[in-house]
Amino acid sequence: MTTSRQTSGKSERRKSEPDGAELLALELQQIQSAESDLSRVLPSLAEAVESEELRELIELRAKHSQRLLGELESAFGELEEDMPKKKNAAAEGLIEAAQEHVREIEEGPALDAVLIAGIQKVEHYCIAAWGTARALAKATGHEITVRAMEQELEDGKNLDEKLTELAEKEITPALLSEDADEEGSEESGSEEEAQATRKRGGSGSHRHAPRH
């Protein structure tokens, strides 16, 4: 008994078999897309934050992004590839999430806290991409790309550490202090209202029960 293989009616798309240099080029395309989006968005994020130190760190990251975009041109030249620009959906989603926080949360410690988290998520993604690109560049002998990715890895890890330190020492304590002040204000308001109610209840004439 023989069985026939069913087909969907559509011709199967042939899968490619990229070599190491082609994989590196694809990875660099993704990095270029992420950095282009970041360089466009980071200035508006810097304007939205309250912490001066956080603003300086975001501006520093923007400078790193501009530098890397220039280095990527040299990396593509080393690959002898004229690569078309390609969107990075993963990075785009992370960046859009940070922008959404700016639209939805008022300026202050809460916004600073979520933006630190959002920027770190993007940075962690970039660190993974830079590491992958460095490994591929080493394997294929593209030294310009190796040096560029090593610099980005060093700067990215340093930035991530500074953001964590800022969150722990300044932003989170400020957020908790603000929450405590709000709770204290609410409790004070409730107590004042209770005192006013007791005073109203204790004044005026008292009604006596009718006698039978």
Q: Residue 127 domain-assigned?
A: yes
Q: Residue 191 domain-assigned?
A: no
Structural domain harbouring 68: 20-186
Q: How does pLDDT run across 5-32, given as a tens digit for each residue?
A: 454 555 567 887 888 999 999 999 999 9
pLDDT at res. 137: 96
Q: Which two tokens stand for residue 113?
A: 């806290």
Query: What average pLDDT does the segment 142-166 reach?
Result: 97
Q: Over 80: is that where the pLDDT of 134 sits? A: yes
Is 115 strand, coil or helix? helix
Q: Hey, what amino acid is at 157?
A: K
Most distant pair of Cα atoms in the chain: their distance: 110
Q: Residue 196 domain-assigned?
A: no
CATH number of the domain that residue 34 is part of: 1.20.1260.10
Q: How many domains does the chain have?
A: 1
Exposed, middle or buried by CB within 10 Å (0-12, 13-18, 19+), for 172?
A: middle
Question: Rg of the chain over CA atoms, in angstroms?
Answer: 29
Q: How does pLDDT run across 66-78, given as a tens digit for each residue?
A: 999 999 999 998 8
Q: Residue 167 domain-assigned?
A: yes
What confidence tier does 37 reach under pLDDT thresholds 50, 70, 90? very high
Measuring CA to CA, which residue among 14, 39, 16 is closest to residue 26?
16
Q: Is 0.85 topped by the overall pTM? A: no
Q: Residue 9 domain-assigned?
A: no
Instruction: Specify whether the CB–CB gap between 115 and 54 falls below 8 A.
Output: yes
Percent of the chain whose predicted confidence (pLDDT) is above 70 = 76
Q: Residue 169 domain-assigned?
A: yes
Instruction: Specify whether the CB–CB gap between 10 and 63 falls below 8 A.
Output: no
Q: Over 50: is that where the pLDDT of 207 sits? A: no
